[in-house]
Homo-oligomer: A and B are copies of this chain.
Amino acid sequence: MKNYKIAVLAGDGIGPEITREAIKVLKLIEERNDVTFELMPAAFGACAYFEFGDAFPQSTIDICDQADAILKGPIGLSHEQSKTIPIDKQPERGALLPMRRRYNTYANFRPVFLPKALAHFSPLKPEIIGEGIDIIMVRELVGGLYFGSKETGINEQGLRYVKETLEYDEHQISQILHQAFKLAQKRKKVLHNIHKSNVLKSSVLWNEILDEVAKEYPEVEVIHQLVDSAATNLCLKPTQFDVMVMENMFGDILSDQGGGILGSLGLMPSACIGDEKAYYEPSHGSAPDIAGKNIANPYSMIGSVAMMLENSFDMAAEAKNVWDAMQGVFGDGYSTADLSKPGSGVKMISTEEFGDKVVEKL
């Protein structure tokens, strides 16, 4: 009997309601496998700041430190609400980035997946979706502009200025590239390298190291694409991509564009993996506008559980069952109000019902 400890950080906004559904799935997996999941809930995000004055309080750190894996809901507040919290205490700078740094979860995997049968969710025409979109974006998650030093002040001309640095070293670059090449090797053996080497020296170093790392994966074909072209092509011909690798900020933007082409960020789970610890989270925000309405689709959170099963607990078969169950619920014509418009022909169900139906299918 395996026993895994899972820190459960439900987060802000729609976090708690979609986390609840993800837990139903974990419970079922537990019942029918030789495994127990010890769930350890902890406060994280704006809710933790308001309760403890700290978005990532020590009690939560302790729980995460002990956990075998972390399941994390979305965090954050609206633009106006954020301003009520001192900048460095805000949930992103005060909790999310410290978590990524603490556990050095440098490899962020973001599937952008839409089978042909679900093409109706997408804003793209069916002929663009073709046989379906099936991309995994591999995003470097603990370097670049996000973690470089930052300086603000008044310059010689008496003007306010800001300077922040985009930093990478060869170790950071090669470790994420290895992850991407390994994934590409398991999939279609094609890796799209997304960069901006015509302007950024960081991309020049990135590409230099890529040429070296590539030698270890001779079967993988590398296709270079500038980040701006990639943004064009994700709209025009997303099916050209299989595995894409890129630095942190590019990954932030392109993966959200990925959510755009699927039809919703609600369809974007993700895995954030370090050498020692991994955490799993939806790629989207906390959607304060629809929080508490029982209309948010729990797909991204349940999908994050699937990624956890596969990556942290070596339960690839159960992970696949979870994906299939979710596709099956959609396939039966069900959807939630955040994803689909009333009258669009879907059978509209709530967050909770979606979770229940996934469990039924399983």
Contact = CB atoms under 8 A, between A and B. Distances in A.
Interface in A242-273: 249-250, 252-257, 259-261, 263-265
A167 B171 contact: no
Contacts of A171: 157, 159
A251 to B, nearest CB: 10
A242 B257 CA distance: 19
Contact of A205 (B162, B166, B263): B162
Contacts of A205: 152, 160-162
Nearest to A76: B198
Q: How many copies of this protein are present in the complex?
A: 2
Contacts of A234: 257, 260
A232 B204 contact: no
A219 interface: no
A128 to B, nearest CB: 5
Given A254-B231, A256-B229, A163 B166 contact: yes
Interface in A132-183: 145-146, 148, 150, 152, 155, 157, 159-171
Most buried by B among A82, A124, A128, A164: A164
- List of 8 A-B pairs having minimum Cβ-Cβ separation, nearest first: A235-B260, A228-B256, A92-B198, A231-B257, A161-B169, A232-B260, A160-B170, A79-B224
27 contacts: A82-B198, A87-B204, A97-B199, A123-B124, A123-B125, A123-B236, A146-B199, A150-B201, A152-B201, A160-B170, A160-B205, A161-B168, A161-B205, A162-B166, A162-B167, A162-B205, A164-B165, A165-B166, A228-B252, A228-B256, A229-B285, A231-B253, A231-B254, A231-B256, A231-B260, A232-B256, A257-B257
